[in-house]
Amino acid sequence: MNTDSPSTVAVILAAGKGTRMKSAIAKPVFPFCGKPLATYSMRAVRQAGIERVVLVVGHQAEEVEKVIGTQAEYALQAVQDGTGGALKCVEPLLAGFTGTVFVTCVDAPMISEETIADMLRVHRENGNAATLLSIVLDDPIYYGRVIRNAATGNVECIVEAKDATPEQLAVQEINVATYCFEAPLVFQMLQQINNDNAQGELYLTDVIELLNKHGHQVGAVIATNEDEVAGINDRVQLAKSEAYYRRLINERHMLNGVSMIDPASTFIDEDVVIGQDTIIHPFTSIAVGTTIGMNCVIGPASQLIGATIENNVEVISSRIEFSILREGARVGPCARLRKGCEIGPGAEVGNYSELKNTRVGAGSKVHHVGYLGDTTLGEGVNIGAGTITCNYDGKHKHPTSIGDHAFIGSGSLIVAPITIGEHALTGAGSVVTKDIPAGKVAFGVPAKVVRDRERD
């Protein structure tokens, strides 16, 4: 969408402490469907065609800027004196700017590009000095009420619930803290507001009444989707908003050809990529940074974090962390791949096996209650049940290398650093402390080479 972006600047208010979240994490970087909360409103305004974005920061400003980086410009609100004070802090950045200032809050992440574009269209077509976004609620509770002129329908003022009369509290149209203003006019009005109110703050909403007093027109766009404009002030509201947004994510994937057995119990983060004809089973969570190919089967009860899954892969009731599964690989049930693993084409990792920083070659099998750490397996290797590569000596991690078509007997302990050659074999229960040459058989405690391996 194009909104003539050079004449529009987006300002996202993100300086508050978010005390009702009861968290040491600043609200702008609080996780929401796998990404910092602030990134959602920033993306929406850019999708609506607004290229310049200013983030007003205050509480934990350095941490917020560290996480968000160059995605926005920053204005510092050193004193938490209300939303009016927040927008005042942007004025130095917009010196000489003439155009529309779109303002929203960081805790309203679900506002859509369509709604933003609609607001800007109405604002410009009607020649408004300000246009706000509102919604009509059955129970407006503590939200600011939108008071309209009975004759024209234009907005006269916004009255915060704590300052409202009983008659004003009966109004069901409420302000959702998203606006279009014209600059430099809005900054002229901000110089005239004061903190003579119940909270002792500078209300941005007071600008609406001031604009009316100076003969300027103020309009409103009424939203129809309560979930889209919902704010997040505590973790109850966070959970409700995430549930709504995850439903949208799931629907998007399903419309793109992904099957979900039970979407309500499937939890997918934003920006996850899933190919056509993949099936996601219940109680599966897929975190940001994960890419899944076509014709895969994932779940039930699987967890994928930063995983790369190629086509025709099966992950059954397992956890995959920052690892790669190549074409046709199979993992699970109840396996765990820790960071740095690569499972080759057609390879299998089975029940209750744990791998860390391990490469499994094409067609190799790692089944049944084992641990491989810092290990490289060649192609066609068989790892027997209960095998462990002992990679840690108390101070350092050491590698294990096992060649193509080797056979590791059940219950083998491989004390790294070790190299086991191609087609080598270890007997069940062996403790391998020395390298085994290619094609040899070793067994015992400690394992000793006894003969050549007989092969078909």
The answer to whether residues 223 and 350 belong to one domain is no
**Residue 241 domain flag:** no
Let me know: does 257 contact 239? Beta carbons within 8 Å. Answer: no
The answer to whether residues 391 and 290 belong to one domain is yes
- What is the tens place of the pLDDT at every residue in 18-39? 999 999 999 999 999 999 999 9
The answer to whether residues 207 and 266 belong to one domain is no
What span, in angstroms and rounded, lies between the C-alpha atoms of 147 and 240?
A: 29
The answer to whether residues 323 and 445 belong to one domain is yes
Arithmetic mean of pLDDT, 100-119: 96
Instruction: Supply the pLDDT for residue 149.
Output: 93
- Of all residues in the chain, the percent with pLDDT exceeding 70 is 98
The answer to whether residues 196 and 277 belong to one domain is no
Arithmetic mean of pLDDT, 127-155: 94
Q: Are strands 319-321 and 8-14 parallel, antiparallel or unpaired?
A: unpaired
- Of all residues in the chain, the percent with pLDDT exceeding 90 is 93
Residue 303 has pLDDT above 70, yes or no: yes
Number of structural domains found in the chain: 2
Instruction: Supply the pLDDT for residue 273.
Output: 98
Arithmetic mean of pLDDT, 270-288: 98
Which CATH number goes with the domain that contains 402?
2.160.10.10
**Residue 239 domain flag:** no
In the annotation, is 253 catalytic?
no
- What is the tens place of the pLDDT at every residue in 393-426? 999 999 999 999 999 999 999 999 999 999 999 9
**Residue 129 domain flag:** yes
**Residue 243 domain flag:** no
Q: Which residue has the higher pLDDT, 301 or 197?
A: 301
4: confidence class by pLDDT, cuts 50, 70, 90: low
Residue 120 has pLDDT above 80, yes or no: yes
**Residue 443 domain flag:** yes
Q: Please, what is the end-to-end C-alpha distance for the chain in angstroms?
A: 67
Let me know: does 432 contact 413? Beta carbons within 8 Å. Answer: yes
Domain of residue 387: give its range: 258-452
The answer to whether residues 286 and 211 belong to one domain is no
Residue 2 has pLDDT above 60, yes or no: no
The answer to whether residues 339 and 445 belong to one domain is yes
196: confidence class by pLDDT, cuts 50, 70, 90: confident
- What is the tens place of the pLDDT at every residue in 337-349? 999 999 999 999 9
Domain boundary among 229, 250, 270: 229
**Residue 60 domain flag:** yes
The answer to whether residues 300 and 215 belong to one domain is no
**Residue 194 domain flag:** yes
The answer to whether residues 439 and 296 belong to one domain is yes
Which candidate in 253, 368, 396, 398 is catalytic? 368
The answer to whether residues 441 and 292 belong to one domain is yes
- What is the tens place of the pLDDT at every residue in 370-392? 999 999 999 999 999 999 999 99
Residue 163 has pLDDT above 90, yes or no: no
* Nearest residue to 89 via CA among 14, 142, 150: 14
- What is the tens place of the pLDDT at every residue in 289-299? 999 999 999 99
Instruction: Supply the pLDDT for residue 456.
Output: 57
Residue 326 has pLDDT above 90, yes or no: yes
Which CATH number goes with the domain that contains 99?
3.90.550.10
Instruction: Supply the pLDDT for residue 439.
Output: 97
285: confidence class by pLDDT, cuts 50, 70, 90: very high
Instruction: Supply the pLDDT for residue 416.
Output: 97
Query: What mean pLDDT value characterizes the chain?
Result: 95
The answer to whether residues 225 and 262 belong to one domain is no
**Residue 248 domain flag:** no
Cβ atoms within 10 Å of 235's Cβ, excluding its own:
14
6: confidence class by pLDDT, cuts 50, 70, 90: low
5: confidence class by pLDDT, cuts 50, 70, 90: low
The answer to whether residues 183 and 324 belong to one domain is no
